[in-house]
Structure 1
Amino acid sequence: MRSRTSLRRTGVALLSAAALAALPVVGGAGLTGSAGAVAAEQRGDAWQGGWATSPQAPTAPFGPNWSQQGFDNHTVRQVVRVSTGGTKARIELSNRYGSTPLRITGATVARTDKGAAVQKGSVRQLSFGKGRSVTIPADGKVTSDGVPFKVKALESVTVTLYLAAPTGPATFHTFSAATSYRAQGDHRSDRDGAAFKETSDSWYYLTGVEVTGGKSARRDGVVTFGDSITDGVGSSLNTNNRYPDELAERFAATGHPRSVLNHGIGGNQVTNDTTWAGEKGIARFKKDVLTEPGVRTVIVLEGINDIGGSGPSFPGGPTPEVSVSQLIEGHRSLIRQAHAKGIKAVGATLTPIKGSFYDDAQKVNEAKRDAVNHWIRTSGEYDAVVDLDRALADPSDQDRMATAYDSGDHLHPSDAGYRVMAEAVDLDAL
């Protein structure tokens, strides 16, 4: 990774190794500040994102999940790993794509044991404005009150939601690479996981876990923004081997953990909305990235679905064709949005596609990918560049992902590939 100044000078990119006062329930414009939050900033115990994901509209393009039917007298238990630790925790819940108000009857946070079980004595009841229940309006979100909860960087926590009343279709995140659990009735305080008979590989309503009181009470958070390759498609289930997870591990290994937040959505595009893969990147960037606390840097890896989505292999049907100039202008919009909030924008080159379902016989998609990557590497418009294309490429065929890094579909990396992606990021440049 090189700085923007260095890129402009050389014209080439270098390959180199996410009980304070609760914020109110709000609509789609995002969370608003509060006097308590300002006071927290001044005391140096500001909230940091420990874990995050981007919400999506209910859909089931790859098989059944719980989003379209929703929940009725169900307890949903979800396991996530935080990138940085603290002494207090709170959660964020989203009803962005709900058509009616969502009633959360109760919620808890605990330290994870095995499967759906939690560690003895670790369950903490969560409150929302001092009440145990909360109603989130359609297109709204809510942050719980902070609760004393000591958690270390890279530790897994379990968030449990009890949904007593029918919810209708649920805001969720399709690809979690993690198992979520469901039980009939109220089991929010259960220590063992015996009641949780059903499982899903998606997340529901939960979009953030924030921490405060740790070593990382400063504005140095990193958001990784993109599509399935940021989301971690192709990584092993329940192993936290997505590239943002590996990046968080690199920070932790230095003795200075940092907030590393994953806002990838499988299938997402920069310029086109889709029925199953989220709003276009230039629209959701404001909602997903710019509302996160303590963010200093965003790494953008997105555009391959804009290039390949107009073909017959794109799930849900083709999307409008996107030219190189349109895709570059979309990236420029992301850069402008980041800079307007004082956030450093790092551009990641689009990774190899040869042999994948995006590899067309006429090599039109490859030509577009090469052109976009040339712009990312040489334009100097991003503040820095990480060359993930070259990190993953087969040395004997630069258009193809190296076999050792390929999950098998020649598009999504394996666990080893995601590790190499994280190693390509220059930590000092962040």
Structure 2
Amino acid sequence: MRPSALRVGASLLALTAVTAASASASATARPGTAARPGTTWAAGWAAPVQRPSEGFEENWASTGFADQTVRQVVRVTGGGTAARIRLSNLYGTEPLRIAGATIARTASGASVEAGSLRRLTFGHRGAVTVPAGGEAASDAAPVRVAPFESLTVTLYFAEPTGPATFHAQAYAKSYRAEGDHGADRTGAAFTAGTHSWYYLSDVEVTGGTGRRGSVVAFGDSITDGFGSSYDANSRWPDLLAERLAAAGTPRPVLNSGIGGNLLLHDSPWYGDRAGARFRRDVLDKPGVRSVILLQGLNDIGFSEVDLPTYKPNPQVSAEQVIAGYRELIARAHARGIRVVGATILPFKGAEYHTARSEAKRAAINEWTRTSGEFDAVADFAEVMASPSDPLALDPAYDSGDHKHPNDAGYRRMAEAIDLDAL
């Protein structure tokens, strides 16, 4: 019999826009907004932002938008009676002008539920300018949403935006229309689509009941959901949130994965290194109580393949990856946040599997399991391994590239997490 899959270790911004790094872990609504003064905001949904780039599927990040409306659908894992959004211009080189914005409950595709559409304001104004490198939060909007319901956020860009801060791999469709269609109930005008999110970094909610602390899933493409079905919310963080709710312990689960992300180096294509983005993507999210860390595969793998996007790709040792883990653990513990360490999945047959990268994975996973430095361990490597070859993904869980799970594999990962460890 295999060992247990989890071992416990020893141990608004209304008129003003500020840098993402200075975002508060909790915020208070201004008087006159839809939420009362002193309102505590909870996480509903979030996505880490990236530099404009191309690759994978076609996206609109490099060209940006001009006299166009973008409609984006997100599923919240925490509900409430009012919501607000956060917009990021972190990688913009010019101020970003949002000429209008709305929020509504999603009907289907780009259409929204009748009677649910609300215009968003920023300091009681219908437009906002977000400085280069900054972010802005809307006022509260009275929109009721239950956990696991979807909200549609629509942004109108009257002026050219330039290249867009975005999240590349959303595994959910976003829509674009020519002209101003922020108040449309139907999706008829939204004739173009991509699978990325643009400028939208957070949806926060208030007015929910029985809240517990948020969980952040922090990692690379396996956390982001590569290989999962589009518009199905079948990434493992989504399924973990469903497990928590079914167990009677509902709480928001935020997905802070970026495809291709590295623990130790910034990438033009795959986001800032884990240590550089850990504050804004984990520590500064509302009410975070635990983080699940699954990172390091790309650090040990990129150096084995000479591809333009796999840069930088220096040889990285197991000891360097472990040192990166220790830094994140210390920073989380300093904020009273528990850290669950996840073992790196098998990847035999993938393009950067070599004897050298496999030896590094084995050493990193052994340290994760036995060091006692994590508060708990989710042994994804064990539960996802092929019964006939522990170095390879179980074929039943393989999306086809021998390193990313399919929907069934992501469900198995969510099942492997001890809910009490969170």
Say yes or no: TM over 0.5.
Answer: yes
Q: Is 1:343 paired with 2:349?
A: no
After superposition, where does 1:43-58 map in structure 2 within 5 Å? 46-58=40-52
Q: CA deviation at 1:31?
A: 1.6
Q: Distance in 2 between matches of 1:402 and 1:78?
A: 34
Q: In the alignment, is the contact (CA less than 8 A) between 2:72 and 2:173 conserved in 1?
A: yes
Cα deviation code 1:267-290 (max 9, x no counterpart): 000001111000110111112111
User: Per the alignment, in what secondary structure is the counterpart of residue 199 of structure 1?
Assistant: strand
Q: CA deviation at 1:115?
A: 0.7
60, 78, 89: which one pairs with 1:66? 60
Q: CA deviation at 1:38?
A: 11
Report what 1:209 is aligned to: 203
Task: Report the identity percentage.
Answer: 56
Report what 1:262 is aligned to: 255
After superposition, where does 1:149-188 map in structure 2 within 5 Å? 149-188=143-182
User: Per the alignment, in what secondary structure is the counterpart of residue 283 of structure 2?
Assistant: coil
Go from structure 1 to structure 2 and tell me whether the alpha carbon gap of 1:377 and 1:37 turns closer, same or farther (over 3 Å shift): farther
Go from structure 1 to structure 2 and tell me whether the alpha carbon gap of 1:21 and 1:94 turns closer, same or farther (over 3 Å shift): closer
Report what 1:103 is aligned to: 97
Instruction: Give the letter for the 1:376 counterpart.
Output: T
Q: Distance in 2 between matches of 1:332 and 1:37?
A: 36
Q: In the alignment, is the contact (CA less than 8 A) between 1:96 and 1:140 conserved in 2?
A: yes
User: Per the alignment, in what secondary structure is the counterpart of residue 186 of structure 2?
Assistant: coil
Q: Is 1:407 paired with 2:399?
A: yes
Q: CA deviation at 1:121?
A: 0.7
Cα deviation code 1:187-240 (max 9, x no counterpart): 00100000001000111000111111112444x100000000000000001000
Report what 1:390 is aligned to: 382
User: Per the alignment, in what secondary structure is the counterpart of residue 396 of structure 2?
Assistant: helix
Instruction: Give the letter for the 1:422 counterpart.
Output: A
Q: CA deviation at 1:316?
A: 1.4
Note the residue ranges of structure 1 that are not aligned, 5 or more in a row.
9-19
State the TM-score, normalizing by the size of structure 1: 0.92
Instruction: Give the letter for the 2:251 counterpart.
Output: R
Q: In the alignment, is the contact (CA less than 8 A) between 2:46 and 2:256 conserved in 1?
A: yes
Q: Distance in 2 between matches of 1:64 and 1:21?
A: 32
Report what 2:214 is aligned to: 221
Instruction: Give the letter for the 1:252 counterpart.
Output: A
Instruction: Give the letter for the 1:303 counterpart.
Output: G
Q: In the alignment, is the contact (CA less than 8 A) between 1:21 and 1:37 conserved in 2?
A: no
User: Per the alignment, in what secondary structure is the counterpart of residue 53 of structure 2?
Assistant: coil
Q: Is 1:379 paired with 2:353?
A: no
Go from structure 1 to structure 2 and tell me whether the alpha carbon gap of 1:315 and 1:201 turns closer, same or farther (over 3 Å shift): farther
Instruction: Give the letter for the 1:412 counterpart.
Output: H
User: Per the alignment, in what secondary structure is the counterpart of residue 86 of structure 1?
Assistant: coil
Q: Distance in 2 between matches of 1:44 and 1:412?
A: 43
Q: In the alignment, is the contact (CA less than 8 A) between 1:22 and 1:146 conserved in 2?
A: no
Instruction: Give the letter for the 1:70 counterpart.
Output: G
Q: What CA RMSD, in Å, does the superposition of the two structures yield over aligned residues?
A: 2.2
Cα deviation code 1:312-362 (max 9, x no counterpart): 2555144111111111111111111111211111100001111111212xx
Report what 2:3 is aligned to: none
Q: In the alignment, is the contact (CA less than 8 A) between 1:222 and 1:260 conserved in 2?
A: yes
Go from structure 1 to structure 2 and tell me whether the alpha carbon gap of 1:314 and 1:399 turns closer, same or farther (over 3 Å shift): farther
Go from structure 1 to structure 2 and tell me whether the alpha carbon gap of 1:368 and 1:34 turns closer, same or farther (over 3 Å shift): closer
Q: In the alignment, is the contact (CA less than 8 A) between 1:68 and 1:170 conserved in 2?
A: yes
After superposition, where does 1:25-424 map in structure 2 within 5 Å? 25-32=17-24, 36=28, 46-218=40-212, 220-312=213-305, 314=307, 316-318=309-311, 319-360=313-354, 363-424=355-416
Q: Distance in 1 between matches of 2:13 and 2:170?
A: 30
Note the residue ranges of structure 2 that are not aligned, 5 or more in a row.
1-5
Instruction: Give the letter for the 1:113 counterpart.
Output: A
Go from structure 1 to structure 2 and tell me whether the alpha carbon gap of 1:35 and 1:268 turns closer, same or farther (over 3 Å shift): closer
Q: In the alignment, is the contact (CA less than 8 A) between 1:23 and 1:32 conserved in 2?
A: no
Q: In the alignment, is the contact (CA less than 8 A) between 1:69 and 1:168 conserved in 2?
A: yes
Q: Distance in 1 between matches of 2:249 and 2:30?
A: 25
Q: In the alignment, is the contact (CA less than 8 A) between 2:7 and 2:369 conserved in 1?
A: no
Structure 1 window deviating more from structure 2 (195-204 vs 24-33): it is 24-33
Go from structure 1 to structure 2 and tell me whether the alpha carbon gap of 1:38 and 1:73 turns closer, same or farther (over 3 Å shift): closer
Q: In the alignment, is the contact (CA less than 8 A) between 1:61 and 1:315 conserved in 2?
A: no
